[in-house]
Amino acid sequence: MSRRPPSQPASTPTPPTPREAAPREREIQSNPAPVSPPPPRRGAAPVACSGWSGRAAAAAAAPRLSIRPREQIRAPNGGRRARGGSNSAPLPLLRVSFLRVCCSVRFLQGGGLLIEMGGRVSKAVACCCCRSQHHGVVVESSEKTAEEDHGESYELPAFQEFSFEQLRLATSGFAVENIVSEHGEKAPNVVYKGKLDAQRRIAVKRFNRSAWPDPRQFLEEAKSVGQLRSKRLANLLGCCCEGDERLLVAEYMPNDTLAKHLFHWEAQAMKWPMRLRVVLYLAEALEYCTSKGRALYHDLNAYRVLFDDDCNPRLSCFGLMKNSRDGKSYSTNLAFTPPEYMRTGRITPESVIYSFGTLLLDVLSGKHIPPSHALDLIRDRNFNMLTDSCLEGQFSNEEGTELVRLASRCLHYEPRERPNVRSLVQALAPLQKDLETPSYELMDIPRGGATSVQSLLLSPLAEACSRKDLTAIHEILEKTGYKDDEGTANELSFQMWTNQMQDTLNSKKKGDNAFRQKDFSSAIDCYSQFIEVGTMVSPTIYARRCLSYLMNDKAEQALSDAMQALVISPTWPTAFYLQAAALLSLGMENEAQEAIKDGCAHETSVLV
């Protein structure tokens, strides 16, 4: 497919002032285009309950609850049945259609009602609000919290404070080639990719000196955001606050930004099911943050949505940091800022919803359309101009209309008229498609990164380390010998040579014999004696002891030796490959793949 040139934002006149925009947007909101309701989900049954309007009943039926079988269900008031006198009103008629539920009902002594069921049930069960003395109905909701629903039991290292030297080494001295931020080194606050000692990939945001003049406020904000842990976020792992330096450390997301995949794609446009997944995951991320007391998100845009190793979308944690001016900044073009920000200069939770609406427009159109222009298109019912032509035939009119309707609600001029994040999740969840298809398949990107190890032409040692074939690794290291030590500096005084060299060489010789005979425990002891003397430096000795540790199921010591070999010889491919084998033994597959790629890059540069 031919390369599609980067999309340009639609050219529009200068956005009107809030005073001018208000009447027109109120007109759009009060007289929206006719919107056909989306078709009901397959298998959904109607719900009716006396005293409810059809709309309320339908809304209550949308969420589905899991009910534990054969248990007496407790009421929201803690399980106490409502008390009523002899003149209590009779229990109103309740008609509920259950979804794939086998249900039996029987009365208990004392007037309780036991509901025995399995499978899924509509939330409308809870609409029994009137109870009699003899027929109390108590219901336990298994509705999950935002934290449980979105996989927030996410294991990551605890937030920590890094030294500036640690981050300098992790980013190769803040090298230009490690810059991953949108505007490169011209950005006011530059983001670098890097690696920590344990090969965990990180993103490091380095602020300019004027961004956080108060170190105490910076640390408080960073520690607060660092408590969040969610699979919907690119989580904050730590920070650095030394002198004038202010840096944040987050999980590294290798598969670019939503802006890249929407506006500057090369092979193919993002598919409709993936676009729906992106906006749902983003809404879930905002819901999680709101539930943890972090409802404000600064400058929400397509560059803040990142894709992890599996191509799942995540929200950058950097936007959760309240800046030094107490939330009074908004860096995007004013055409995309919420109207109330134009008036007050402050960001509110409703402002975040407005920005979410602009993202819905991005996803729908594949272009960065100013909200004022989009609302004109919606008012004129010009939906063809609003939708991405690359999506033709991928979605129904009802789905497109629902997304347009949701975007127009988010872009309402009056903040109080905009939906909250929970209602966004509830509106987007039923629209999801291809739920069983992994995101990396929808994106046509190999799992584990844009370049997979399988796609590389590996040398025999790299291949053996990628499979953790320790026998093959041993054969290759034995055959290679010490030729890779050529050029390693070993400056010894005459006294050292006469007094220590013979013992050192004897330890090395014994270690080599043990290594050749596959007596790896003895090899570890002999090589350790050689290293402890310190009269000679040999990366090969560390490589051999690394493999010996792996043979003895000591992966952490093996990783330490591989890293020490890299300290001696920073571009030695063998050290990278052995590091990968150790990381695989520790279950760190993604980090192992990165080490293999680094080794291949250095090996290729040597061949060239």
Q: 371 and 404 in contact (C-beta within 8 Å)?
A: no
Domain with CATH 1.10.510.10 in the chain: 269-311+322-442
pLDDT grade, residue 500 (50/70/90)? low
Q: 265 and 4 in contact (C-beta within 8 Å)?
A: yes
Q: Give the model's pLDDT for residue 437.
A: 94
Per-residue pLDDT averaged across 385-395, rounded? 88
d(CA 489, CA 540): 13
User: DSSP character for 99?
Assistant: B
Per-residue pLDDT averaged across 279-293, rounded? 97
Lookup: tokens for 564: 């020490």
Q: 120 and 64 in contact (C-beta within 8 Å)?
A: yes
Neighbour count for residue 276 (Cβ, 10 Å): 20
Which one is predicted more confidently, 265 or 115?
Answer: 265
453-607 is a CATH 3.30.70.2660 domain:
no
Give CA separation, 52 vs 24, 127, 140, 306, in Å: 34, 9, 21, 42
Per-residue pLDDT averaged across 83-95, rounded? 36
Per-residue pLDDT averaged across 315-341, rounded? 73
Q: Give the model's pLDDT for residue 456.
A: 52
Which one is predicted more confidently, 125 or 451?
Answer: 451
Q: Is residue 454 classed exposed, middle or buried when 0-12, 13-18 and 19+ CB atoms within 10 A define those classes? A: exposed
Residue 435 pLDDT greater than 90, yes or no: yes
Among 104-118, 304-318, 542-556, whose mean pLDDT is lowest?
A: 104-118
Q: Is residue 285 classed exposed, middle or buried when 0-12, 13-18 and 19+ CB atoms within 10 A define those classes? A: buried
Residue 495 pLDDT greater than 50, yes or no: no
pLDDT grade, residue 567 (50/70/90)? confident
d(CA 372, CA 408): 11
Lookup: tokens for 457: 């032409």
Q: What string of DSSP letters covers 287-343?
A: HHHHHTT----SS--GGGEEE-TT--EEEEGGGGS--TTSS----S-GGGS-HHHHH
Question: How does pLDDT run across 16-30, given as a tens digit for each residue?
Answer: 444 444 444 444 444
Q: How much is the pTM?
A: 0.56
CATH of 160-251, one of 2.60.120.10, 3.30.200.20, 3.40.50.720, 3.40.47.10: 3.30.200.20
Among 153-167, 339-353, 389-403, 527-541, whose mean pLDDT is lowest?
A: 527-541
Residue 119 pLDDT greater than 80, yes or no: no
Give CA separation, 227 vs 216, 289, 399, in Å: 17, 11, 37
Q: Give the model's pLDDT for residue 242.
A: 94
Q: Give the model's pLDDT for residue 330.
A: 54
Per-residue pLDDT averaged across 89-107, rounded? 35
Q: Percentage of the chain with pLDDT > 90?
A: 40
pLDDT grade, residue 118 (50/70/90)? very low
Q: Give the model's pLDDT for residue 155.
A: 77
Q: Give the model's pLDDT for residue 99.
A: 33
Q: Give the model's pLDDT for residue 136.
A: 35
Which one is predicted more confidently, 443 or 41?
Answer: 443
pLDDT grade, residue 548 (50/70/90)? very high
Using DSSP bridges, classify how beta strands 160-161 and 236-242 pair: parallel, antiparallel or unpaired.
parallel
Which one is predicted more confidently, 602 or 319?
Answer: 319
Q: Give the model's pLDDT for residue 203.
A: 96
Residue 274 pLDDT greater than 80, yes or no: yes
Enumerate the H helices of 10-99 as residue ranges: 18-30, 54-61
Per-residue pLDDT averaged across 332-358, rounded? 87
Domain with CATH 1.25.40.10 in the chain: 453-607
Q: Give the model's pLDDT for residue 605.
A: 59
**Residues 409/412/416/422 CA torsion (nearest 10 deg):** 30
Which one is predicted more confidently, 220 or 486?
Answer: 220
Question: How does pLDDT run across 44-66, given as a tens digit for each residue?
Answer: 433 333 333 333 333 333 333 33
Residue 380 pLDDT greater than 60, yes or no: yes
Domain with CATH 3.30.200.20 in the chain: 160-251
Q: Percentage of the chain with pLDDT > 70?
A: 66
Lookup: tokens for 481: 């010998």
pLDDT grade, residue 32 (50/70/90)? very low
Residue 197 pLDDT greater than 80, yes or no: no
Instruction: Give residue 122's identity as a one-letter amino acid code.
Output: S
Instruction: Give residue 559's identity as a one-letter amino acid code.
Output: L
Q: Give the model's pLDDT for residue 460.
A: 86
Q: Give the model's pLDDT for residue 597.
A: 86
269-311+322-442 is a CATH 3.40.1000.10 domain:
no
Q: Give the model's pLDDT for residue 279.
A: 97
Told to judge if 326 belongs to the known catalytic residues of this protein, a careful annotator would answer no
Question: How does pLDDT run across 395-413, given as a tens digit for each residue?
Answer: 888 898 899 999 999 999 9
Per-residue pLDDT averaged across 325-350, rounded? 74
pLDDT grade, residue 448 (50/70/90)? low
| Given the residues 299, 434, 519, 525, the one annotated as active site | 299
Enumerate the H helices of 111-248 as residue ranges: 146-149, 164-170, 215-225
Q: Give the model's pLDDT for residue 73.
A: 34
Residue 394 pLDDT greater than 70, yes or no: yes
Give CA separation, 123 vs 128, 161, 436, in Å: 11, 45, 25
Residue 231 pLDDT greater than 70, yes or no: yes
